[in-house]
Amino acid sequence: MKILLYGINFTPELTGIGKYTGEMATWLAARGHEVRVVTAPPYYPAWQVGAGFRNGWGTEVMDCHGADGSLVVYRCPLWVPSRPGGAKRLLHLASFALSSLPVMLRQIFWRPDVVWVVEPPLFCAPTAAAVARLSGAKAWLHVQDFEVDAAFDLGLLKGERIKRMVLAAERWLVRHFDVVSTISGRMLERLQAKGVAPERTVLFPNWVDIAAITPEAPGLPRFARNDETNSRHCELNDVAIQGKLNHFRALLGIEPESVVALYSGNMGGKQGLEVLADVARLCQPQASAAHPEIVFVFCGNGAGRADLVQRCAGLPNVHFMELQPMELLNDLLAMADIHLLPQRADAADLVMPSKLTGMMASGRPVVATAVAGSELAQVVQGLLVPPEDPQAFAEAVLALASKPQWRAALGAAGRKYAEDHLDREAVLAKFEADLQGLVAAPR
């Protein structure tokens, strides 16, 4: 098949949509398909264009590891605000939609079999639908986040009249796609409530490479010792192996008997990250003498990081880390005894956190803020607490910290769920079959 992928985020971004779209494109190309991607230079979650990339038009031909397929990436410039929010975010998305328009129109002459576009941003959907129609391709919209609903619910956009107009335009637009997919059952129900016929909806969940993310992290890949940072990683990995310690525990000086509570991922607005500072304060050693020492590690970048750092000022039980490369993700997740998954109440069922797949595959329990009855509450293997309730969150962390057998049982349940429902090969094989069925179907 000739598959045209369209979206603002792509590899080498390490989190969220860019990670999943990049893995999907590489997988399809390795299966022998011709894949083209129209995207932006990497900028997320740091909100600045990544090192080694320029903010302009360019073309990359990516390695498909000897496969018969091909993967060509077209990068288009965009405006990247250092402090996104409200109108700035809309201008940011619109800048990419405009700069990518001529590149997308040129793909009409390539005659793709299917045009696949991811939301967010919904701004890209009209162009994708038009290119599909003009080239005779099938059109597929994939919804990772209901960004329109979330923008109003989180207060980024306001006004009932504007809301009615935007939601009406969204309902009109989604009806122009042959298939509309999303990542959870509850989000699938919301699509149908927006007027998408059930027979045109597909469940396409996020996935995890269960062979790469395991409960027991192996020794880390060897680093070139001619780089000072990589040499330090090598030395610490040697220390960790000899002392049977986790690499990152050695890096941060965390004792083996300490309990690590880890948040790793984007530090954005809809995570409700401010609760983490309060939880760490409530779990300080002097406040929880009957429990093991709990060390909080917050790993990631994004618009909310500076505020979280400020809130945690003076807390000795908190460490901050930058996002780590993919080859270190397994060891990073294995550092945790408990994973932390905060989320705002008003984002329930508008998003399904992409970081959850790795948490569950790592075989560690999750403490998540979730509204009763939400999809997140049904999926999480761990403890659920009310959103924006730091006292309940801290009590859940303290309860798990003192009961290692309970942690092991919950972690094993999460791992089994990942193996049964989130395996990358199974999810992408079904997606490929759905693509082939769509292309073969008559109009």
Model pLDDT, residue 7: 97
Q: Classify 228-421 by CATH class.
A: alpha beta
Q: Which own/partner pairs from 147-153 qualify as long-range (CB within 8 Å, at least 24 positions apart)?
A: 147/119, 147/120, 147/121, 147/122, 148/122, 149/190, 149/350, 150/270, 150/347, 150/350, 150/351, 153/346, 153/347, 153/350
pTM recorded for the entire structure: 0.87
CATH 3.40.50.2000 boundaries in the chain: 2-207+423-440, 228-421
Q: CA-CA distance, 252 to 231, in Å (whole number)? A: 16
Mean pLDDT of 327-333: 92
With 70 as the cut, is the pLDDT of residue 221 above it? no
101-130 pLDDT, tens digit per residue, is: 999 999 999 999 999 999 988 889 999 999
HSE, side-chain direction, 13 A CA sphere, residue 418: 29
Q: Classify 2-207+423-440 by CATH class.
A: alpha beta
With 90 as the cut, is the pLDDT of residue 165 above it? no
In the block, tokens 């092991």 appear at 408
With 50 as the cut, is the pLDDT of residue 245 above it? yes
Mean pLDDT of 333-359: 83
> Which carries the bigger pLDDT value, residue 122 or residue 100?
100
With 70 as the cut, is the pLDDT of residue 435 above it? yes
167, containing H or E segment:
helix 160-174
With 70 as the cut, is the pLDDT of residue 273 above it? yes
Model pLDDT, residue 148: 78
DSSP state of 71: E
31-70 pLDDT, tens digit per residue, is: 999 999 999 999 998 899 999 999 999 999 998 765 677 9
391-421 pLDDT, tens digit per residue, is: 999 999 999 999 999 999 999 999 999 999 9
Residue 167 near residue 144, CB atoms below 8 Å = no
